[in-house]
């Protein structure tokens, strides 16, 4: 048995590294069109930051884990082919801004149809709209090579920052398909380390839809607690106390109730918008509107945070220095896709603030590229004014202290652990007074900081 995976990104890389680690006798070949990414996977500096990933890759790479750009060879050799390519929101044509762009998945399927021989199991690892497998089966079936295929859906539930633990000890593995033999072949791979009762098998469509539904439910919890955070701020209730009180109800549960500046990441928004598009496609207008509200609430939360900063700082942040702590969409990742920080920074820049941004993992070029992109229109155009705001009003610095020096305010946008243990007395001494802290993640010790002299505003805490 041999495995290949097309797409060496945040999902393809870690999932295949884990399979290779747990199944030393199965050769695993991960391929990508992006040479730079493959080179990084073959180096000591992996393309993604993920706690524990280095060790897993180091153990398996060179033994039974290989990274290359030779897509055709990988397809030809493999018995099981995973497709873990990106499925971003469409930015053009019908469904722009909502539907998933299936171009990359379709290209994979066409390549497989062209070069495969014999029998292959093709696994949808990417997150896809329900009934995509129907299209994939047709594309594979139209190939001239005479190869035969089974298509399975095996969505991935790992979260960034905890990917290795999630892969090692998943709540469940989900496999949807039509052929019992194909399902069994994939079950046997995961069963090397995941207890059988946690490997769920379903029909293809339930599996595809379960992935979108899981992300929609998770994001809905964040939007729900964020909606309540606004009410807390108006009523002197404390959102962490409310979350704790409701989370102790075993029917609600305590996880995913952390109020924040808004959820980010490559998937929540795109998957919900995709769900909304699907519902509209099937004429389910009320269902579409229900789920869309989760994204609308998230946009409101990001906007509300930036507006709160301006309002609190005497209604102007123009020419004021604001330290931005954290740019990744959550801690323990270098991923910035859809990070709330991008939109908060954009709004502050448009108010002419000067930003000193620090993130322990995100490189300067990435931060600047994200800010430029956030100011561009759909055609990718950016006004001279917006470009000069990113060029002149943004500096990227090496730590939280440097960011806060001479600043009027600190905005905490990612919950990196290091922000809990900084020397706040020292920081206070270097800032302009009154020194504001806007904690978008509720990570700082409000009481201590207030005693030092800071004016602290949190999410769902009375104040901002
Ligand atoms: N990022 C995450 O934490 C999770 C993502 N997912 C889903 O997994 C899928 C992949 O996501 P990411 O890994 O984050 O994306 P990514 O953008 O990090 O990686 C995708 C990779 O596929 C490559 N690629 C695209 N077309 C190709 C082709 N025709 N041949 C070879 N390589 C090709 C790209 O060069 C890129 O390196 C998406 O559908 C996403 O929704 C699911 C669970 C978690
Ligand atoms: O399909 C995907 O891509 C993945 O999306 C999420 O994983 P991820 O986006 O990596 O990270 P999460 O931990 O879910 O956080 C998402 C966002 O919500 C925010 N969040 C999360 C939890 C919470 O209580 N409050 C909150 O604001 C985080 O800060 C982050 O910005 C899901 O948790 C994974 O199960 C799924 O596989």
Domain at 317, CATH number: 3.40.50.720
pLDDT above 60: residue 111 = yes
Kindly indicate the confidence band of residue 145, based on its pLDDT and cuts at 50, 70 and 90. confident
pLDDT for residue 173: 98
Residue where one domain finishes, among candidates 202, 232, 254? 202
In a domain, 221, yes or no: no
Query: What is the arithmetic mean of pLDDT over 238-267?
Result: 98
In a domain, 232, yes or no: no
Kindly indicate the confidence band of residue 463, based on its pLDDT and cuts at 50, 70 and 90. low
In a domain, 246, yes or no: no
Q: Are residues 328 and 412 in the same domain?
A: yes
In a domain, 225, yes or no: no
Domain count, the chain: 2
In a domain, 275, yes or no: yes
Residues with C-beta less than 6 Å from any ligand 1 atom: 6-12, 31-34, 37, 71, 84-87, 104, 107-108, 126-127, 156, 158, 160, 266-267
Kindly indicate the confidence band of residue 464, based on its pLDDT and cuts at 50, 70 and 90. very low
Q: Is 457 annotated as a binding residue?
A: no
Residue with CA at minimum distance from ligand 2 atom 14: 159
Residues with C-beta less than 6 Å from any ligand 2 atom: 127, 156-160, 215, 218, 222, 256-258, 260, 263-268, 329-330
**Residue 174 structure tokens:** 């989900």
In a domain, 176, yes or no: yes
Average pLDDT of the chain?
Answer: 96
Kindly indicate the confidence band of residue 144, based on its pLDDT and cuts at 50, 70 and 90. confident
pLDDT for residue 223: 98
pLDDT above 90: residue 378 = no
Q: Are residues 167 and 285 in the same domain?
A: no
Query: What is the arithmetic mean of pLDDT over 349-353?
Result: 97
The best mutation among 267, 330, 335 to test binding of ligand 1, ranked by most ligand atoms within 8 Å of the C-beta, falls on 267
Range of the domain at 402: 268-458
In a domain, 145, yes or no: yes
Q: Are residues 84 and 193 in the same domain?
A: yes
Q: Are residues 14 and 151 in the same domain?
A: yes
Q: Are residues 290 and 191 in the same domain?
A: no
Residue where one domain finishes, among candidates 202, 222, 253? 202
Q: Are residues 315 and 453 in the same domain?
A: yes
Q: Measure 293 CA to ligand 1 centroid, in angstroms.
A: 26
Q: Are residues 173 and 297 in the same domain?
A: no
Q: Are residues 26 and 119 in the same domain?
A: yes
Q: Measure 85 CA to ligand 1 centroid, in angstroms.
A: 4
Q: Is 196 annotated as a binding residue?
A: no
Q: Is 7 annotated as a binding residue?
A: yes
Q: Are residues 276 and 355 in the same domain?
A: yes
Note the pLDDT tens digit of each residue in 15-63: 999 999 999 999 999 999 999 999 999 999 999 999 999 999 999 999 9
Q: Are residues 197 and 281 in the same domain?
A: no
Note the pLDDT tens digit of each residue in 183-199: 999 999 999 999 999 99
Q: Are residues 284 and 382 in the same domain?
A: yes
Location of structure tokens 């594979």:
140
Q: Measure 60 CA to ligand 1 centroid, in angstroms.
A: 21
In a domain, 236, yes or no: no
Q: Which-ligand-closest: CA of 223?
A: 2
pLDDT for residue 377: 85
ipTM: 0.98
| Active-site residue list | 267
Residue where one domain finishes, among candidates 155, 170, 202? 202
pLDDT above 80: residue 261 = yes
Atom of ligand 1 nearest to the CA of 108: 29
């Amino acid at each position: 048995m041999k495995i290949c995976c097309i797409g060496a990104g945040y999902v393809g890389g870690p999932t295949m590294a884990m399979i290779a680690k747990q199944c030393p006798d199965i050769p695993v070949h991960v391929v990508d069109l992006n040479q730079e990414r493959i080179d990084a996977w073959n180096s000591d500096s992996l393309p993604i930051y993920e706690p524990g990933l280095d060790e897993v890759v180091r153990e398996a790479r060179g033994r039974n884990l290989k990274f290359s750009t030779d897509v055709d060879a990988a397809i030809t050799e493999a018995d099981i082919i995973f497709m873990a390519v990106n499925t971003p929101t469409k930015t053009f044509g019908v469904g722009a801004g909502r539907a998933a762009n299936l171009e990359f998945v379709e290209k994979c399927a066409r390549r497989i149809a062209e070069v495969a021989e014999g029998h292959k199991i093709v696994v949808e690892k990417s997150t896809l709209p329900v009934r995509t497998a129907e299209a994939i089966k047709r594309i594979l079936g139209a190939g001239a090579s005479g190869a035969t295929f089974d298509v399975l859906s095996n969505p991935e539930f790992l979260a960034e920052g905890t990917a290795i633990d999630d892969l090692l000890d998943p709540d469940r593995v989900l496999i949807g398909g039509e052929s019992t033999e194909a399902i069994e072949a994939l079950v046997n791979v995961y069963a090397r380390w995941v207890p059988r009762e946690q490997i769920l098998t379903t029909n293809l469509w339930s599996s595809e839809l379960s992935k979108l539904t899981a992300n929609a439910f998770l994001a809905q919890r964040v939007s729900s607690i964020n909606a309540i955070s606004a009410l807390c701020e108006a009523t002197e209730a404390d959102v962490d106390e409310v979350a704790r009180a409701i989370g102790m109800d075993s029917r609600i549960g305590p996880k995913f109730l952390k109020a924040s500046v808004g959820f980010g990441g490559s998937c929540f928004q795109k998957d919900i918008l995709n769900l909304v598009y699907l519902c509209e496609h099937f004429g389910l207008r009320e269902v579409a509107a229900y789920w869309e509200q989760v994204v609308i609430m998230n946009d409101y939360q990001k906007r509300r945070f930036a507006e709160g900063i301006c309002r609190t700082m005497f209604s102007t942040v123009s020419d004021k220095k604001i330290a931005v702590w954290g740019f990744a969409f959550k801690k323990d990742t270098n991923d910035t896709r859809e990070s709330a920080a991008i939109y908060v920074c954009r709004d502050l820049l448009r108010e002419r603030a000067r930003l000193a941004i620090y993130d322990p993992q995100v490189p300067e070029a990435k931060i600047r590229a994200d800010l430029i992109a956030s100011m561009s229109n759909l055609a990718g155009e950016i006004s001279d004014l917006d470009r000069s705001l990113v060029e002149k009003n943004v500096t990227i610095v090496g730590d939280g202290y440097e960011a806060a020096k001479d600043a009027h305010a600190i905005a905490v946008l990612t919950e990196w652990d290091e922000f809990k243990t900084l020397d706040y007395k020292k920081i206070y001494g270097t800032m302009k007074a009154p020194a504001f802290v806007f904690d978008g993640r509720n990570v700082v010790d409000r009481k201590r900081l207030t005693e030092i002299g800071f004016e602290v505003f949190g999410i769902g805490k009375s104040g901002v």
